[in-house]
Structure 1
Amino acid sequence: MKLGFLPPFLRPHITSGEWVASLAGMLEAQGVESVWAVEHVIIAEDYEPLYPYSDDGRIPGGPSPDTVMPDPLEWLSWVAASSSTLRVGTAVVVASQHSAAILAKRAATLDALSGGRLLLGVGLGWQREEYEAIGVPYRDRGRRLDETIEAMRALWASGPASYEGRHIQFERVNMDTKPARAGGIPIHIGGSSEFAARRAGRHGDGFFPFVISPDDLAARIEDIHDAAREAGRDPAEIEISVWPGSWDASRSLDLELVRSYVALGASRLILSSRESGASSDIEEIRAGIDRYQQEIIARL
């Protein structure tokens, strides 16, 4: 079982290079497989409460005067440079807000520099105000995301690339920086809805639901398999990652819950900062991860 870690974002220390390097060194020594980063370009002061992973529709702990959320690819480049085996993943890049060509180039650069360690998690986001501030239409963002995935893969392949979509078009262009891996960068689809699962079946190398019950995960896996078969893909090749504790620390230490995820085919568990404490103290975070490894991972 692979174990990933999503650090305590929204805290000022997340942009301390010294702290990030210490965190990466500790996680690598602890046997953690991957480190993940989230993205919001902006958070509106008075956003509509549509955040899907809390009861009140608000982001826990933010925004506030000390909220810090750095760009995930730049932040992960520091993690990669401070480690030799840690995989680095986005959870998620709101790819439908980005230029497909620029995102493809940035991701390929990080993958090349890290020796093929990037896992590119992509999703739609939920904050209409963020789309409006960036200048990208909120409407039809699902179609835009699908095209972004297809266009990036075209640009990562060898030879001149062409793509013709509703939102993205280019003809016989070359992107001079390629990912380290010949097959391109693994793309993981974030989200917990049927739409996200079906997108993973059509386009994804992985599926990463953030807060989901075993029953709902079973339904989403069925959606993935249906969509994959319809697209002529092998459903078994789509990796399932889960966030076992969501925002409730007591759930993260529920062995039977995690066993249920594993029985459904999950191959990666990603702990969030809430599950191992939101402290900036590296030893405190290490102790939380060690407890999880001893009480959960070792008993699966």
Structure 2
Amino acid sequence: MRFGLSLANKGEGCGPESLDAGAGAAERLGWDSVWVTDHLMVPNGPEAGEYGVMLEALTALTYVAARHRRVTVGTSVIVPAMRDAPLLAKELATIDVLSGGRLVVGVGVSDKGDIIEYTNLGKAERFPRRGAYLDEAVALWRHLWSGKIEPFIGEFHTLSDYSFLPLPVQGAGIPIWCGGRSERALRRTAELADGYHAAQTGPADLAGRVPRLAELTAQQGRPMPTLSVRARVEFGPSTRSVYTLHGSEDAMVDELLEFARAGADEILLVFDAERPHDIERAVNRFHENVIEPFRARSGDFEPAEAGRP
């Protein structure tokens, strides 16, 4: 099982020093990947939460990819309907070129409560059709990244005369991981994606979804996707109503073993730390007291090659 780190591109402490602290620690410890979170214009006030202060995700990811040359870099997750699919195709292709083919694209549709953010971005009309927009965005990206120059005609986009170069290093094979916990998210993963990227999901929930995902994927004649989980870490008791990886370090080792038994290929860890020193301390503590004992007990952890989805 592989491990990734959610970088501090959000929160009061976000900045180049925090990004470097997280990515540097991940590389030093042999973790496989680093990820950025995406929000653009959340409501002001208490509703903003931790997303009220944010570095733009793709710009931050480009910075990290240029300075840290081993880890896979990814989005967890980007919302195509809040942006524009053709521009995203170019931005993502550029990151893949500049990183030497180390990009993974996590995508999602956002939650029901995000209508205000869509409105702030001038895209309120997309909100009811955000799932359909995501589906078409993925098809458009694959079309462009493959080097095809034939017209693309969809519900939201018509491309008939265009040049799209340079192509990404991974071509149309840039891994796309689909987030979400609904039946539709599982279907979308089976139909379109290379990976399933679950948040607020414990080992039992993941194990419960795997048979259905396997069934849907088989119906599409596609291989089983990569299984990944985004998990917030809390040392000690949990303070949240949603799933977190928490408790004693021994308890977290046991939980990781359960994730491994459920079939998880990669765990993306989210720490509340925002300042460089706090980030390094939290990552080091988790690595020494949770990951290393997990390795010793499971015997199945081998750092993946850079760029592996």
TM-score (norm 1): 0.85
SS of the residue corresponding to residue 100 of structure 2 reads coil
Ranges in structure 2 where 5+ consecutive residues have no aligned partner:
233-242, 299-309
Q: Which residue of 1 aligns with 2:70?
A: 85
Partners of 1:19 and 1:46 in 2: how far apart?
24
2:246 alignment counterpart? 249
Identify the residue that residue 227 of structure 2 maps to in structure 1.
240
For structure 1, the 5+ residue unaligned runs are 48-57
Specify the code of the residue in structure 1 equivalent to 2:121. I
In structure 2, distance between residues paired with 1:251 and 1:145: 39
RMSD in angstroms over aligned alpha carbons? 2.2
Query: Residues 22-41 of structure 1: matches in 2 within 5 Å?
Result: 22-41=21-40
Of 130, 144, 169 in structure 1, the residue corresponding to residue 158 of structure 2 is: 169
Residue 169 (structure 2) aligns with: 180
Alignment of 1:1-40 (within 5 A): 1-15=1-15, 17-40=16-39
Could you tell me how far apart the structure 2 residues matched to 1:106 and 1:36 are?
16
Give yes or no for contact 2:74–2:105 (8 Å, CA) kept in 1: yes
Letter paired with 2:33: S
**Number of residue-to-residue matches in the alignment:** 281
Matched residue SS, 1:228: helix
* 1:9 positional shift: 4.4
1:155-192 per-position Cα deviation (integer Å, ceiling 9, x unaligned):
10123043222222222533112111134311000112
Of all paired residues, the percent bearing the same amino acid is: 29
The verdict on how the C-alpha distance between 1:120 and 1:251 changes in structure 2, with shifts beyond 3 A counting, is: farther
Judge conservation of contact 2:5–2:269 (CA < 8 Å) in 1: yes
Q: Does 1:69 align with 2:64?
A: no
Q: Contact conserved, 1:164 with 1:170, CA < 8 A, in 2?
A: yes
Letter in 2 for 1:165: G
Q: Does the CA-based 8 Å contact 1:96-1:123 persist in structure 2?
A: no
The farther-off stretch of 91-100 and 289-298 is: 289-298
The Cα offsets for residues 32-90 of structure 1, whole Å up to 9 and x where unpaired, read as 1100111111111268xxxxxxxxxx67x435xxx421111110111111111111110
One-letter amino acid of the counterpart of residue 276, structure 2: S
Corresponding residue SS for 1:189: strand
Amino acid corresponding to residue 101 of structure 1 in structure 2: P
Counterpart Cα distance in 2 of 1:79 and 1:289: 22
SS at match of 1:173: coil
Q: Which has the higher contact order (CA 8 A, sep 6+)?
A: 2
Give yes or no for the alignment of 1:130 onto 2:106. no
For residues 181-260 of structure 1, the aligned pairs below 5 Å read 181-235=170-224, 238-245=225-232, 246-250=243-247, 253-260=251-258
